[in-house]
Each structure stands twice: as structure tokens, then as C-alpha cells.
Structure 1
Amino acid sequence: MLMPDPNRTHPALPGTVYLVGGGPGDPDLLTVRAARLIAQADVLVYDHLIGDGILDLARPDAEIIYAGKEASKHTLPQDDINHLLVQLAQKYRCVVRLKGGDPFIFGRGGEELEILARHGVPFQVVPGVTAAAGCAAYAGFPLTHRDHAQVLVFATGHLKDGTVNLDWQALARPKQTVVFYMGIAGLGEISRQMIAHGLPPQTPAGVVQQGTTRQQRVVVADLATLEAKVQEAGITTPALIFVGGVLQLQPQLSWFEPQAAAETA
């Protein structure tokens, strides 16, 4: 159990927890406010998908706590993280909870703030560039386009109970882009369900692994062949799945060269 800091002016008063979006990976995509808070923080609690170099912005004397979650491997259970933030707010004035992408888009940010609110801990939210926007931009296709997609849908490919039981009828509609977070393990099922509920097998689809970073890899195919091509390429997490007509623009609009970025870093 963390004890209140005796050197603090008002040890009985909670500090502020800043729920900060760390962006999709490239540290240049941090917001100015996110970078400023990371540099000011007394303590940072950070997730697995924080881009290289972002923690370098922290003060040398800041406490750094890893609370990352990988597939079937959680450093701290979510309930423990929620209560850790409450404890840290009793010890420090500035607590930064640093999450990949945007904390309110499949980042469990709402769950953490519910606990803080219940305990009377002040908090603020700093949005970040969500992975869908960052990965699509760096992979070379828009998420919306007047000719291809008038609707944009974000879905999780991994529900709390471990299933992939989604509203397939709503997801498998034409003229929209669907982005699946945390769905690589269920890619085959996602493709089959999208086809079974009405999308043509030739619907453009793709996967972006470690988007916006020097390790970015992109596979573009169609729903019928995407799983096989992803397996052939050896694509693993972290990665996002994209489905929709905008993917056909990728060969024309691709601009980011990870190898060139690595050589100039």
C-alpha cells in the first residue's frame, strides 16, 4: 500500500490524475499538452503500446510504473490499475495515466475514471491520435471518402468474454469503413462473418501492424484472402484490421517508408 508523502503540503488532499493519450506510436504525433504533462508528471503509469522515446520526456526523478496488457498477459489486472491510480493520487500532485492511442477509444479510460470519480479524485482527459486514424494515414488510405465510405465504424474484435459476437448485420454494410481493434486472433472469423452477412468476398480489406512506427507493415487484400495473406506475411499484434472500399486507394496514396524513417532516425 502506498503511503502519503510526508513532504507534501496537503497530504490529505488528492492530486490530479491526467488520463493522457499517447498516440499510435510515432512520438511526433503526441499532442503538445500530452508532451507537457509527461514532462511535468511526478509519476507515470503507462501501457504496453507506448511509442519508443515517449517516456524519455519524463523527469529523471519521476516514478515510472508499467501496467501493460498483452494478449493473455496482464502485468496488472484492470481492477488493480484502477485502485493504484487512487493510491497514487494520495501521494503525488501530478499523476499521468499514459495510454496508447486515445484513452476513450477501446482504452478502458472510462472504467478508470469511474473509480476516480467514486473516490473523489480530480481528473482531466487529454485526447490522443487514435490508432485507426494514425495507422490509416501512415499506411496510405483515408478512413472516409465521398466515393467509397460515408460511414466510419470502430469495433473491438475481442469482447470482454473472449468472444467475437458482434452486430455483424450492422458492420457488413456497403459504403462504410470498419476498423477492428484487437482482432488479429479472430481475423478469420471476422472475414467469414462479414461475407456471410452481405459483403462481397472481393471487398477490399487490410491489416496494419505497428502503424506509424519504423516497424510498420501493411497487408492489403480482400475479405476472402486476407487471413491467408496475413498468415503468410507473419503479421502479429499489435495490428488493426480495416475493411472497406477506401483500401483500394492504398497503392496510389501510400507515402510512408518505414525503412527510410529508420535510416534517418
Structure 2
Amino acid sequence: MAKGNLPAVLAETLAYEGGWSDHPQDTGRATMKGITLATYRRYRPGATEADLRAISSAEVERIYRDGYWNQVRGDDLVRGVDLTVFDYGVNSGPARSIKALQQVAGVGVDGIMGPATVLAARGLPARDLIKRVNAKRLGFVQSLSTFAVFGKGWSRRIAAIEATSLSWVSTKPQLEADAKDARTTAQKQAGGAVVTGGAGAADQANHLSSLPVGVVIAVVVVVVGVLIFRVVINSQRAAALAKVAKEA
């Protein structure tokens, strides 16, 4: 069990949440170190954007501990699983990350990290739990309307969080095998994209021959696009896993 692991976990999360941002398509708008102005004002009523820019390290840790770490009961989760669930919670809300964990653990899904959820999570192999929760996280962000804008960055972050989480509970050979598997999957998917976009496009067209040509072309483009993005995702995973394996 990972007691007092928040500093290590938070350091990983802040590598992606660090700095100021105010992207017009980011629903959180003004954000510093992953903390929105609305969230900051719950701890410091009346705070301005300037105050948020100057937020102290102590305030940052307090907000992440109160609002996220304690919500997912990070101190009660196995090292590695804590990072996976916490980072997902920071990005998409603790309730959503808890629900993903509950779905994988096979317990009632209510978004509340109760004793039954903790017990079930601790009873499962950490490596499997980490992989499956991160896969659910990836599936969720892919469903968002802003995925076209932020998707590549989100998937890179998820790949890195998965790799780091696994590095905390895996041997070097296990990490090397994970990287090899991801690389092999990416290569197979790349081959599938080529076939679908090349000679395979004719087969696709035959199956859709009753539809207008424009619709057929659009369908093939979408299919190829999905395959290509899967290649990108597994290439990101392979690179992240190879990095932590090298450092192990």
C-alpha cells in the first residue's frame, strides 16, 4: 500500500498540468498548474487570475490533496494504481476515474471510493488494473467533442502515465515486453491502414456499392483515419514504455 505517495504522484501529474493556460476551447479556461480559477476560488474566495498565476506550491498540494487525492483514497491504493487513478481524476474528475476503476474491479459503479472498491482494487494484479483503467480513460477522451483539438496531447499523456505507473510495479523484462507488444501492435495496425487505404479500398467500395461514391469515399477515409490514430496511440505507448524500461 502506498502511504504518503502523493508527492511522487503529483510530480508526475504536474509535468502535464504545470504552467498557465487559457485556451478558448478548454472548458476550464483560466488554469494554473491544472487548477482552474473556479476551483481556486473555493479555497480562496474572490481570487483573481493574477492570484491564480501566483499560486503557491503549498496551495497547489493542498488543493490536489483535498480535491483529488483524498477523493480517490490515494493512500489506500497500490503504488502505480494510485498514479493512474489520481491523474485520470485530475483530468476528468475523481468520480469518473473511480467509476473506471470500479468497472475494471467488478464492483458496484457509483463513483465513490468506498471500502469495497479499495479492497477489490488491492486484490487484483496491479499491472492489469493499470492497463485496463488507462484503456478506459483513453476510450473516454476519444468520445469528447474536443478530442480533435486536444486528442494527441491527451493520448500522449495517458501513454506516459500508464508507462510510469507500470514502472512502479514491474520488472525491467516486463516493461521491455510491454514496449515490444505495443510496438508490434502499432506495426500491425500500420499495415492494416495501408491495406485499407490502398488495394483494400476497392474491397470496401464493393461492400458499399449501393451508396453514392462520395459516401463510400468518406467511409473509407474515416476507417483509415481511425486505423492511423490507433497506430499513433500504440506508437506513443511503445515509446513511453521503452523509455521507462531503459530507466529501470
TM-score of Structure 1 vs Structure 2, range by shorter chain: under 0.3
Greater helix content: 2
Greater strand content: 1
TM-score (norm 1): 0.24
**Larger RCO (alpha carbons 8 Å, 6+ apart):** 1
TM-score (norm 2): 0.26
